[in-house]
Amino acid sequence: MDLAKIVRLVAVLFAVVAGLVTIPQSAVIIVVLGLAGGWFVEEDRRGPYMLMTLTLALVHGALGPIPWGIGGYLTDILGSLSALLNAGACMVIVMAIVDRLKP
């Protein structure tokens, strides 16, 4: 397993756990892990990554109405994953700009 997969796995696991329980400074940790994960997005995967980020940002609250409290947990988990991907998208944008500016 390479470093990119390890970073992605740790980031997603932390985002899921942070969606379930309260962790102090979890937002900062999610942003740092998202930026690190965005660093490892390959150039040919940037478009699908940005599409996934936009889609998750739009729909992460749609599962709230599911009864028995399950919808709240799912919404919180998907919200944490959305924050993770949004931070990664910022890094993807920066990497795309750097690639364009390279001679």
pLDDT digits (tens, 9 = 90+) for 12-25: 999 999 989 988 99
The pLDDT score that the predictor gives to residue 78 is 92
The pLDDT score that the predictor gives to residue 65 is 79
Indicate the pLDDT class of residue 56, thresholds 50, 70 and 90.
Answer: very high
Please give the Cα distance from 51 to 2 (Å, whole number): 24
Question: Which residue from 41, 32, 43, 42 is spatially nearest to 10, judged by alpha carbons?
Answer: 32
Residue type, 10: V
Written as six digits, the tokens of 94 are: 């920066």
User: What is the full DSSP assignment across 29-83?
Assistant: HHHHHHHHHHHT--GGGHHHHHHHHHHHHHHTTTTTT-TTTHHHHHHHHHHHHHH
Indicate the pLDDT class of residue 66, thresholds 50, 70 and 90.
Answer: confident
Can you give the residue ranges of every domain in the chain?
A: 3-101
The pLDDT score that the predictor gives to residue 63 is 76
Query: 33-72 in b/e burial notation, b at 16+ Cβ within 10 A?
Result: bbbbbbebbeeeebeebbebbeebbeebeeeeeeeeeeee
Indicate the pLDDT class of residue 94, thresholds 50, 70 and 90.
Answer: very high
